[in-house]
Chain A
Amino acid sequence: MTALVRVRDLSRTFDVSKPWLNRLLERLPKRLLTAVSDVSFDIEERSVYALVGESGSGKSTIGRMIVGLMTPSDGTVEIEGVDLMRETDTARLREVRSDIQMIFQDPYASLNPRWKVRDIIAEPVAAKGGATRGLAERLLEQVGLSAADADKFPHEFSGGQRQRICVARALASEPRLIVCDEPTSALDVSVQAQVLNLMSDLKDEFGLTYLFISHDLTVVQHMADTIGVLYLGRLVEEADPDTLFDTPRHPYTQMLLEAAPRMDGFGREVVPPQGEIPDPIDPPTGCAYHPRCPIAIRRCTEERPELRRIGAARVACHRAEESAR
């Protein structure tokens, strides 16, 4: 297996300062929000890599940087060995770019309401000047809709059907990597099941690789081959689902798994987690999780833990050896 995507020391900061005149008059410093901080991981070809985290953990920002919708402040993203931000060979760049597609969370906002479904689906191919005859009809049938739907407009479809259209569009240019940003969060459970099954089937059929971004642990556990847990823009733990759910090492992962509601947790009394996610403009020193961590020691407040390999997992915690439940 080779890595299709290599992410190295990826960081992204946003300038959230006030306008310069206010800054000058009120003598305010520049304010920088660090959304992603030193994240490194590989995505194997034909696998599903999932990024989980709560709001503000930087998971969508990473997804956007991988598809090239946003430039990294620091670090690199390599896809098929090509760094999209630094590659100068335009032919190679174009080739790699057409291997990447994205599926967004809101199927209502991601389809142009004035376009027919046929044009929406064929667009990624038409933009490259490829042949689009019969393409939309074929793809629609592949995602479980009918060829006759190509002449309809997006408003004629339900949320689940629209997400299928988004999937069909993503498949049109025959990509190798699809970045899915919360693809089922806006859908009902039974529709979510249909879309997740469809995505699994298509992955096997076309040999796709997914970067799956979600906040829903059960969905991630079902879909992923590897899971990366993000906290405040940092990758705190990475493991395969079985390892992660059976023996979570990082105290944040443990807290997240404990807090998630369980279908068999009848009358379970959860000890609610303490505190909230800190302000990313002024993150805690050392390990970002230390103010909420039950096992934090002095070292955690001073030194940021490196992601290191422990068994089948990679964990960024000074006390990972002792923390296993």
Chain B
Amino acid sequence: MSQPPVLAVRNLVVEIPTRGGIVRPVDGVSYTIAAGEILGVVGESGAGKSMTGNAVIGLLDRPARIAGGEIHLNGARIDGLTLAQLRRLRGKEIGMVFQDPLTSLNPLLPIGDQLTETILAHLPVGQAEARRRAVAALDEVGIPAAAERIGSYPHEFSGGMRQRVVIALALCAEPSLVIADEPTTALDVSVQAQIIALLKRLCRDRGTAVMLVTHDMGVIAETADRVAVMYAGRLAELGPVREVLTAPRHPYTAGLMGSTPLASKGQRRLHQIPGAMPRLHAIPPGCAFHPRCDRAAERCRADPGPTLKSCDGRAACWFPIAQDEAVA
């Protein structure tokens, strides 16, 4: 690629010291996101997908900390910044969209004030210009009669409209990267479709890089360009969305696809992955997935476990599913 990626994460390790020892909710994760690209991050609860996003924007709750690896944004290193530097970065360079739109807006301020505040903080414009831009931002995310609604409080909007306001807020300082953490999980199907379409359109128009964290494979399929599948804090598979979802190489990805009740398949039983995701303080040695994997062999139990780099670059598996194998 000629242009450097907007976000480059290399060997990121997040550690939390606990009474039972140090646990690693994120362990050796590497990926890049280019301008205008949407990277989907999927996994089940506890896979470390939100933790990865929070580490990038410096929102890890103590005592969790970045214990290793590097994060580069537009070529500059951003892990280990001071709080003051981080403040300049958040909102300006990285926009954030969270799951619950009600808790990410200040209930005591009209939405217009929240927007102008953000614009004034990050862009060299005056009060009047900031206000004009706030109206334009609301208009762009599809809030009807934006000029009149600018004085409304968050509780006066429906859930879908609130999430639009949050997106306007995340994008108003024109960041180069947006981290959307389960942006549609709290919304209904029809509203979800509106929000996804909006996010896609805005990012394509502006060339914003997006990290879309979700557990919904359908949303990923329709939205993302590439997908990263996480399991127990590690990347299980990373590749173009179509290839990963239609011809998964990692047994975990294959299992995840098989257990989704796929429309119009008509099979009466869903594929089951036996067992459950390991607890953080009991991640098995070697490949973290081996106790649940039907392909596991001696090599999978031995340290060090497979990584994307040590395998074929797409799936972190010693025995990936080959192209011609029938997917169970």
Binding site for B on A (CB under 8 A): 54-55, 158-161, 188-194, 196-197, 200, 215, 217-219, 221-223, 245, 255-256, 258-273, 276-277
Q: Is B192 an interface residue (CB 8 A)?
A: yes
Which chain B residues border A267 with CB–CB below 8 Å? 222
Instruction: Looking at the assembled complex, report how far the CB atom of B37 sits from the nearest CB atom of chain A, in whole angstroms.
Output: 13
Cross-chain contact B44 with A270 (CB below 8 angstroms): no
Given contacts A189-B259, A192-B259, A194-B272, contact A273 B190 (CB under 8 A): yes
Q: List 19 A-B contacts (CB under 8 A).
A: A54-B189, A159-B45, A188-B215, A189-B44, A189-B215, A190-B255, A193-B258, A200-B268, A217-B263, A260-B218, A262-B222, A263-B218, A263-B260, A266-B241, A266-B242, A266-B245, A270-B222, A272-B198, A273-B193
Cross-chain contact A55 with B188 (CB below 8 angstroms): yes
Given contacts A190-B255, A276-B191, contact A262 B270 (CB under 8 A): no
Which chain A residues border B160 with CB–CB below 8 Å? 276
Which chain A residues border B158 with CB–CB below 8 Å? 276
Cross-chain contact A221 with B261 (CB below 8 angstroms): yes
Chain A minimum-CB-distance residue to B158? A276
Complex Cα spacing A161 to B222, Å: 32
Which chain A residues border B259 with CB–CB below 8 Å? 189-190, 192-194
Chain B contact residues: helix, strand, loop or mixed: helix
Chain B minimum-CB-distance residue to A269? B197
Complex Cα spacing A112 to B164, Å: 38
Cross-chain contact A256 with B190 (CB below 8 angstroms): yes
Instruction: Looking at the assembled complex, report how far the CB atom of B167 sits from the nearest CB atom of chain A, in whole angstroms.
Output: 13
Q: Is B256 an interface residue (CB 8 A)?
A: yes
Complex Cα spacing A276 to B195, Å: 12
Cross-chain contact A245 with B192 (CB below 8 angstroms): no
Complex Cα spacing A219 to B197, Å: 23
> Can you list, as one digit per residue, whether each of B173-216 has a CB less than 8 Å from chain A (1) or not (0)?
00000000000000011111110111000000000000000011
Instruction: Looking at the assembled complex, report how far the CB atom of B122 sits from the nearest CB atom of chain A, in whole angstroms.
Output: 29
Q: A188-B277, A217-B263, A263-B218 provided; 15 other pairs, C-beta below 8 A?
A: A190-B256, A192-B259, A193-B258, A196-B270, A218-B218, A218-B263, A259-B189, A260-B189, A260-B218, A262-B218, A263-B245, A263-B257, A266-B241, A269-B197, A277-B188
Cross-chain contact A190 with B273 (CB below 8 angstroms): yes
Binding site for A on B (CB under 8 A): 44-45, 158, 160-161, 188-194, 196-198, 215-219, 221-222, 241-242, 245-246, 255-264, 268-273, 276-277
Instruction: Looking at the assembled complex, report how far the CB atom of A292 sits from the nearest CB atom of chain B, in whole angstroms.
Output: 9
Chain A minimum-CB-distance residue to B220? A261
Which chain A residues border B216 with CB–CB below 8 Å? 261
Which chain A residues border B268 with CB–CB below 8 Å? 200
Cross-chain contact A272 with B245 (CB below 8 angstroms): no
Cross-chain contact A191 with B221 (CB below 8 angstroms): no
Contact of A266 (CB < 8 Å), options: B44, B196, B221: B221
Chain A minimum-CB-distance residue to B276? A158
Chain B minimum-CB-distance residue to A201? B269
Complex Cα spacing A192 to B255, Å: 12
Instruction: Looking at the assembled complex, report how far the CB atom of A168 sits from the nearest CB atom of chain B, in whole angstroms.
Output: 18
Contact of A197 (CB < 8 Å), options: B192, B196, B269: B269
Complex Cα spacing A188 to B272, Å: 12
Pairs A-B, 5 closest by C-beta atoms: A261-B218, A193-B259, A222-B261, A259-B193, A188-B44
Complex Cα spacing A193 to B270, Å: 6
Complex Cα spacing A252 to B246, Å: 30
Which chain B residues border A217 with CB–CB below 8 Å? 189, 263
Cross-chain contact A245 with B188 (CB below 8 angstroms): no
